[in-house]
Chains A and B, each alone.
Chain A
């Protein structure tokens, strides 16, 4: 007596959850890509957890009746791992509108990802776009700070050089004009005159010739 009812229920379930059915979503997991050696096997227990997470997301929506795990139907599980799911209403005759399911899942995406140790790329809900975290923009872009530092250094260097150039020019014009030319030559041309650099020519004093010193000391006093 109960058997026809059972068959009816499974038939309805089968109709409600089908690939490309109304309000159905395809989910794709890439467990091995995300976890490598630590990948777990996708079995009915994992499916149970998934249904629980979807039911959890639906329950978090305010002003909605409590969704049970049995209201979440999974079908067409493949090796990939991918499957389709729908969420039915308590009467189990209709599926909940896709928009509601979508917004519920988006709000709790993080929790669902964490339950499976996956992220937005490895646990994909096709047709439910994930919101990317907005990039962290500092109030002042970093490049302007570095630009400002280098700009200030260059400006300071240019100003210093110009000022020292003006000072040198003033010193040159104020000094006596006769000695000016030779001094000019020495200052502007770092090159040599007759192989002797100009600088040592005006060192103070002279050198003490060591030879004569030792000679005097060697002579024994009479």
Chain B
């Protein structure tokens, strides 16, 4: 008799696992950025509409497929149609790419967490230069938080061509991050759940994309999680709960992020003003304390009129301090998490406590999502009889973690952050859209929507609502097709792809073109997961033909 499939202890564990997977770093650093870029509160309108049209239906679809087929992504799609097992393979490949670069973020969070136990925080002061007469030059030109991120954490090289060597400090943190992930996935489902005990067409596209990637559709993680459910589990309710919690976490974190922005902007604005006041006081030998923030403007005019020659000398050095320009600096991604937030934290009281709490939060978000990613890879592997006969679950998990850890050492090199950006932007974007499109067409038209609906009714006892049917059959596929066409045309029209490189001499980011081998890697990333679908289908078709010919020859 076959070994029974492990199951969740109770439905709540499953819900928590899904929430922990869906609520990730994207909620913290991508959603607030989009809100800020696309009109603040009004971004919520397209976001909620896309949630209803695209997010919830697709989430429910993946959960239902997993719960019905009771297998990981490869097995589930093979059951629907053998030609479609390529979809599962593509999901696993995409998950593999994601887990490779995603855990580097956890490594950085660990690095910052360990450095939070110092007074003063290491990113709040610039280090001294060699003569001890002043501060380090690069740190003076940039800011202390940027210096700590680019020099101390990444030790970034000036361009992607100069790879440098593997930095041992981030490498150690990366090994630790992978060990923690291995610890959590070691025992399988039982331990995964317990870890948790998230009139502009661009606006709509961004909302659709954000919902899509925020929920983590297409990686096979949700199918993997749902495959460990009892067949009678009400995954419809869970789909709604998970998507709602994911969205409310995004909205909540944008409230927090915006208040952090405001704090940082006010602080920088006041800093800027005091610098200008000091400059004018020193240049014109005015009385100390004479110039204040309130009388600065009239005094500037007075000085300009009274000492025109001297004022024109000083004028180029006077910065125009504006609260609006500080507020308008919108940052997303690692820049937000590790530069902007740390800058705000260093100015708070008891900054060590806030720093520890913040990076601990980033870690829990990151590791929660990592568990989902690794589940997407491990579930098809452990389902496969070939592999599970020879290796135990612990060994498979260990091997996967070891291989991913080894490959992701690339991201700890000096140029590692540039490769990280490549993976972040291209590894899982276009291919996921295609994967989910094929998934939804497979379920609705290959397997049959009516058949699937009756399956779900037999499993859960609920009839399929007209809303789900309408979304699955019509609205969601159309949305995904339009998103796919938009992104494809965007990539083609953009011409040469560019990236932001850190220039140590100037202390800021500069734009550079990707060299040809980096472009080759990008195309390889996109192609390797998308091509799985047609290639595997072709392979199975050929094997079938060969088998038919073989049996025909025998007969």
Contacts and interface: CB of A to CB of B under 8 A. Distances in A.
A199 B7 CA distance: 17
A155 B180 CA distance: 9
Nearest to A29: B288
B114 A143 contact: yes
B133 A158 contact: no
A142 interface: yes
B33 interface: no
A129 interface: yes
A192 to B, nearest CB: 9
A129 B186 contact: no
B9 A190 contact: yes
B6 A189 contact: yes
Interface stretch (B137-145, B171-179, B244-252, B478-486): B171-179
Interface string A135-166: 10000001110110011001101100110010
Given A78-B285, A135-B127, A158-B182, A147 B114 contact: yes
B187 to A, nearest CB: 6
Contacts of A181: 1
A32 B288 contact: yes
B183 A158 contact: yes
Given A146-B114, A151-B179, A154-B179, A30 B187 contact: no
B128 A134 contact: yes
Interface string A100-112: 0000000000000
Contacts of B183: 154, 157-158, 161
A65 to B, nearest CB: 30
A188 interface: yes
A218 interface: no
Contact of A158 (B8, B115, B179): B179
Interface string B374-398: 0000000000000000001010000
B383 to A, nearest CB: 15
Given A79-B286, A79-B287, A134-B128, A147 B133 contact: no
Nearest to A82: B285
A146 B132 CA distance: 29
B134 interface: yes
A76 to B, nearest CB: 9
Interface string B52-80: 00000000000000000000000000000
A38 interface: no
Interface string A111-145: 00000000000000000011110110000001110
B493 interface: no
Interface string B124-153: 000110011110000000000000000000
A99 B366 CA distance: 57
A30 B7 CA distance: 71
Given A79-B287, A158-B182, A129 B133 contact: yes
Contact of B133 (A32, A131, A135, A142): A131
A122 to B, nearest CB: 9
Contacts of B392: 165, 169
Interface string A38-53: 0000000000000000
Nearest to B393: A165
Contacts of A161: 183, 186-187, 394
A93 interface: no
Do most interface residues of chain A lie in helix, strand or loop, or is the interface mixed? Answer: helix
B3 A188 contact: yes
Interface in B1-43: 1, 3-9
Interface residues of B, number: 41
Contacts of A198: none
Given A143-B115, A169-B392, A185-B4, A132 B133 contact: yes
Contacts of B172: 147
Contacts of B287: 79-80
B289 interface: yes
Given A189-B4, A190-B9, A191-B7, A80 B281 contact: yes
A190 B176 contact: no
Contacts of B7: 189-191
Contacts of A135: 127-128
A134 B132 CA distance: 7
B134 A129 contact: yes
A27 B191 CA distance: 67
Contacts of B3: 184, 188
A82 B287 CA distance: 9
Interface in B277-291: 281-282, 285-290
Most buried by A among B7, B286, B288: B288
A29 B289 CA distance: 12
A155 B114 contact: no
B118 interface: yes
Contacts of A189: 4-7
A15 B180 CA distance: 74
A79 B291 CA distance: 13
Given A161-B183, A188-B3, A189-B7, A30 B117 contact: no
A146 B180 contact: no
Nearest to B284: A80
A10 B455 CA distance: 108
Given A33-B288, A134-B128, A165-B394, A184 B4 contact: yes
Nearest to B172: A147
B230 interface: yes
B234 interface: no
Most buried by B among A78, A79, A143, A155: A143
Interface in A1-42: 28-33
Contact of A147 (B127, B134, B176): B176
A80 B114 contact: no
A188 B4 contact: yes
B114 A28 contact: no
B190 interface: yes
A81 interface: yes
Given A132-B128, A161-B186, 5 more contacts: A131-B131, A147-B172, A150-B176, A154-B176, A191-B230
In the A-B complex, list the 6 residue pairs whose CB atoms are closest, starting with the nearest: A143-B114, A78-B285, A129-B133, A80-B285, A32-B289, A79-B287
Interface of B: 1, 3-9, 110-111, 114-115, 117-118, 127-128, 131-134, 172-173, 176, 179-180, 182-183, 186-187, 190, 230, 281-282, 285-290, 392, 394
20 contacts: A29-B288, A32-B288, A33-B288, A79-B290, A130-B133, A132-B132, A147-B173, A150-B110, A154-B180, A154-B183, A158-B182, A161-B394, A162-B394, A165-B186, A184-B3, A188-B4, A189-B5, A190-B9, A190-B190, A191-B7
